[in-house]
Chain A
Amino acid sequence: MLQVQGVSKSFDDFMAVSQASLDVPDGALVAVIGPNGAGKTTLFNLITGQYKPDQGKIVLDGHEIGGLPAFEICRRGVGRAFQIANIFHRLTVFQNVQVAVLAQQKKSAHLFRPAQNMVVAETNAILENTGLARKSQRLAGMLSHGDQRILEIAIALGTQPKLLILDEPTAGMSPEETGATMQLVGRLGKDQGITILFCEHDMDIVFSVAQSIMVMRHGETIIQGTPDEVRKNREVQEAYLGDVLSVSKEDDHAAS
């Protein structure tokens, strides 16, 4: 479905992503891992059009999409949930998802019909699916952090994506919320056939759910393979897993 080939992006003198490559097969659940600052979010931003790549190709279903504007890439079936809850704070939960559904159905430009009666069924189905139905009339800005992150995914689902990109979907969540979120992600992949690409700090989650893992370091791709291949790779063990241990210690520090 998606191939990233030798993509680079620099900011001033800093190479955020350098010669990164990634292959996301149809229907797969693919994870990107790497220490903080490895360029995972930048890579996602390149795929979904927030940044334009300096070099390399990004191919979706055989069509080059690198450098297209974000709305165009979304219209081609790539949904994106952001790392920082990136929602519409002054709108209700319902409206947050509805805006995405309206855009997907090309109804955003209707001028004289009350929006509240439009795409209601589609929007409610997504809210049911993500467990937000009971909170649909709450203002999005008033939701708990965990719910905002779920809403983030629900908005992305509103665009009916073929490929859903999740940037650390469980960051900052309680263990229960993390479990529920990963269950949701699994369900989206298995039951609804959505191809999923995500990055995550929690190694237990990554190695238990992902079918394919790509490891990044200093903006480069070290390896992409099955969880076993990645676990056995010496370069990953030496260069990366050590870093992760120190990173997770830092996280614990910050949390306490």
Chain B
Amino acid sequence: MFKGIIETRWRVAIAAIGAALIIAPLVTPEFYVYILALIFVTALLALSLNFVLGYGGIYQFHHGVFYGVGAYAVALMITKGNVPWWLAFILAPFVSALIGLIIGWFCIRLTKLYFGMLQISLGSLIWIIVYRWYAFTGGDNGIHSIPLPSFLLTTNASYYFILLIVMLALATLYLIVKSPFGATLQAIRDNPQRCESVGVNVNRHQLIAIVIASFFAGIAGALFVALERSVFPDMLFWSFSLELFVMCLLGGWFTFAGPLLGAAIIVALQTFASKYTDYWTLILGVILILLIFFLPEGVMGFVLGKFKTQVAEEGSRR
């Protein structure tokens, strides 16, 4: 299925990284295993955002909502609905996709910034419901100690579970990016008017993209529960969505794996910065400013750009 759409050197890199990640829990302290697992979850989330942002050109300003909805869906189904854990995990992404469909249906009529503003409003509506409805969602306390099967109770076990699902999800997302749907989505990003006049129903195509992105955000949300066994309303707060946005920009929003790198950098920085300061958002702001001035294509875009010019120079020398 992937024949011809992944270059050989990337295959080698992916295999090497995969092997390192499988061995990692055996040789690193539990805290780092936990951080790595959190990076995987966040990376899947950032990549799902970038599917609509970088490939679709849609200003999805409040992507965190679909993550939160996925996590809360698992938590509520298990604690309030007595749904078996595995069924809750399977259903959660569909719940996120449904919310994505509803919010997207309203927002898609608007473009660019207006789209983003309306999405922040509708997303914040869901956040405030989660935040205030104590009887159902636990309000600002969130939901804790969600019962999970015994094989998911150690950090190492949930690490492997998350690694497996994230790998599968990323492979699927990559296939979609390379499919006719993905190619058309990128064409819409470059020139929606032109796409419309070659016979593409642009609004419907973008709406489907939002639903797909919400679905994958929902998977990330469910995996967060597998790691933390808790959910809290901050997952749906708009400032977290801003962090996701920065991850995409920082990693490089015109590359597939860029947001993964962005997520790794932000999660790692946040973990270590919070040891020394409470003002994490201040650091985030500084990163954003430096990024805009020095790395407009993101870290990944910068590195790949260097690599390409190097190859081009070698080519021209011959």
Contacts and interface: CB of A to CB of B under 8 A. Distances in A.
Contact of A115 (B180, B194, B200, B201): B180
Contacts of B30: none
Interface string B169-198: 000100110111111101101110111111
Interface SS majority for chain B: helix
A240 interface: no
Contacts of B198: 71, 74, 79, 99-100, 103-104, 155-156, 158-159
A87 B178 contact: no
B183 A99 contact: yes
A240 to B, nearest CB: 29
B176 A90 contact: no
A127 B223 CA distance: 46
B39 interface: no
Contacts of B193: 50, 70, 86
A48 interface: yes
Nearest to B200: A103
A84 B146 CA distance: 58
Nearest to A109: B181
Interface residues on B, range: 20 to 34
Contact of A95 (B4, B183, B189): B183
Contacts, number: 118
B264 interface: no
A107 B179 CA distance: 10
A166 B212 CA distance: 36
Interface string A89-125: 1110001101110111001111111111110000000
Interface in B255-311: none
A99 B208 contact: no
B194 A82 contact: yes
A96 B5 CA distance: 18
Name which of A79, A102, A155, A156 has the most chain B CB atoms within 10 A of its CB: A102
Interface of A: 48-50, 69-71, 74-75, 79-80, 82, 86-91, 95-96, 98-100, 102-104, 107-118, 155-156, 158-159
21 contacts: A50-B193, A79-B198, A86-B191, A86-B193, A88-B186, A88-B191, A89-B191, A90-B190, A91-B183, A95-B183, A95-B187, A99-B195, A99-B198, A108-B200, A110-B180, A111-B179, A112-B175, A112-B179, A114-B3, A114-B178, A115-B180
